[in-house]
Each structure stands twice: as C-alpha cells, then as structure tokens.
Chain A
C-alpha cells in the first residue's frame, strides 16, 4: 500500500471521534467520504426479522421432543446409593484409583477413565502438574465453580480426582493454583468455550464407557 493511500493519524483519530482540532480540508473530505459510504452501507442492511425467533424456538422444541425419552438419563441429579450398592461403589472407586494411581510417569497419564454403577459412572480425572500448589476441576457438572472439586496430589506431581457423574456430555477444565484454566491435555475432544479458551469434553455412556 502506498503511503498516500493511508489515512493520517489525525484523520484516524477524527474517524474514531477522538480528534476535536480541525483537519485540513482535504483530509476531512477524505475521511467524511468513507464515513458517508459506510453509513450508506449500514442503512442498506438490516438485522434478520422476528421469524428467526420462531425458527430457533421451534428447533429447540423439536430437539427436546426428540430427546424426551432419554432426557432423564442426561439430566444431572443428586446421587443416592442404596446401602446394598455402597460396597460396589467403593470397589469401583478403588478400581479406578488403582488404574490411575500406578507408579506414574507422564506417559502413564490417562484420559478420563470410568466405571459404571447403575446410571452413575465414576470417572477419574488426572493432570500432571509437578509445579502446581493446588489443582481443581471445574465443569458443567459443578456450575463451573473453580474451587469446589480439588484434586489430590500423588507421586510424581500427578493430581487426580474421581467424580460420580451422571450419563451424558460434560465440559470441564482444570484450574491450577486458583487462576490458570487449562483444558485436559489427554481429553480426546476439545471445544471452544466462547471466550477464546478451550473446554475439554467427556461423554459418559450407559456402560461406563467414556469417550473423551
């Protein structure tokens, strides 16, 4: 771009609405022409009309209707274990701790692992963070509260936690030292969080299968 095709810094400030001193006639005419053209364009286009609102709500209602039979599976709920299940639940957690807690190097670090018990699945999350003072997990299953679910530090800087999650898709991130949000490097699926960051995704299936 040749130099004379660029606006001067004063002209830019004028178009930003920040320059109150006068520009030269030529510069002001140049700037006003662009602003006039953009205004013409802006008046030429319009936002989508209210039919869009109906279309969105229709799609959502259809989706809810399709999933009605399965909704009870995917809605988070409080977990109640009958006494008879308690030993089995304990065994499931022990199995997960054993699976995830073997003497570790970073290559032993696993994607979330799961064990099913009824319609609840125990999922073990791990993060290797030797320098961290504390690590927590925050996700759609906890209202994204950043300190509610702290991980426990094990040997070699490996942090872990086992959570009872309902079946369905959950998004999460680790929170290191209360300030640094990082996705799970071992998760198989990541999704943009809408703020320039990335959420990890774990999908908990009815047979304890976890796709993450």
Chain B
C-alpha cells in the first residue's frame, strides 16, 4: 500500500530520513515536466528541482498540513524555477527558431520545430500564464486539480490559460 504524504512527512521528521526518497520520486514524476517547461531547459530544471527538494526538506517542520505536501512543494518548486529562469540568458527569439515551413524534411522534423516554437513562445508569457498553461496542457490537469495545487480560484486559472492561448496564437500566428 502506498504511504500517504502525511505519513511520510511525519516519519521523516521523526528521523527516518531515507523515506524522503518516496516524496522525491513521487513529485519528480508528477512535477518534472512542469519544471522543465517553466525553466526552459532540462539541465537547469533538474538543478532547480533538486534545490527545491532540499529546501523543502530543510523546512519540513514548517509544512503545516503534511497531507498536502504536494501543494506545498509545488509552490516551493515554482519559486525555485522562476528564480533559475531569471538567471538564465534570454531564450532564443522566435525569429531564430526554425519554424515549420512548406519545405520541411519530414513529419518528425516538423514536430520538433513545432515543439521548439512553443518552447520559445512559452518563455514570453507572464509567469502566472505560463504556470497555468503548462499545468493544463502539458501536465493535463483539470482546473479543479490546478485550484487545489495552487490555491488560486478556478475562474482566475481559466482566465490565465485563455490569455496564455491568445498570447501563443499572437506569437505563433505564422506557425499555427
């Protein structure tokens, strides 16, 4: 049977430090793509995620509701990702990304170029729009799940996602 977050947190605080790995595995899987999408590259995202897990461990005694460790860690991770992102050089301009064109070599190349174009455009969104859009469309969460994770209301989250879509459409007009 899978241990609940609350059980794991309490046992870690009681000294079973190795059990923290359960939380790391669990949320690396759940939030890994989110971190990569927020930061913009895999290596920097992995560093940010590692630092977020260590910060969470150091502050574990201040996690007021251990059963909601995931939501608490999500906020720490988000802050860490924005911090890491701000220290990176500016992302490639959309003008420099190879946008799919009629002379594309094959479907795989087109997919890659399309993905690159989305990555470059995501980097131009506001942090709130990017967070909401990635949770919705990269992680595939419902608005209810997003609200539970972030503490933000569903209407506000929808507004952020809608604006993000409009922003992407504006930037990627030629591609889409």
A residues contacting B by CB (< 8 A) are 1, 5-7, 12, 15-16, 30, 33-38, 40-48, 50, 52-53, 55-57, 59-61, 63-64, 140, 144, 171, 191-196, 199
Contact = CB atoms under 8 A, between A and B. Distances in A.
B88 interface: no
A28 to B, nearest CB: 13
A10 B37 CA distance: 27
Contact of B54 (A44, A56, A195): A56
A43 B137 CA distance: 11
A48 B35 contact: yes
Contacts, number: 148
B8 interface: no
Contacts of A56: 20-21, 24, 50, 53-54, 57
Given A52-B49, A196-B75, A5 B115 contact: no
B124 interface: no
The SS class assigned to the A binding surface is: helix
A33 B118 CA distance: 12
15 contacts: A7-B165, A16-B158, A34-B165, A41-B118, A42-B137, A44-B111, A48-B46, A52-B50, A140-B61, A144-B62, A192-B79, A193-B62, A193-B64, A195-B151, A196-B151
A45 B36 contact: yes
Interface string B113-125: 0111111001000
Contacts of B137: 35, 38, 42
Contact of A5 (B72, B122, B169): B169
Given A5-B173, A56-B24, A144-B64, A48 B162 contact: no
Interface of B: 17-18, 20-21, 24-25, 28-29, 31-33, 35-37, 42, 45-46, 49-50, 53-54, 57-59, 61-64, 71-73, 75-76, 79, 111-112, 114-119, 122, 137-138, 143, 151, 158, 161-162, 165-170, 172-173, 175-176
The SS class assigned to the B binding surface is: helix
B120 to A, nearest CB: 10
Contacts of A7: 162, 165-166, 169
B158 A44 contact: no
A6 B166 CA distance: 5
A55 B54 CA distance: 10
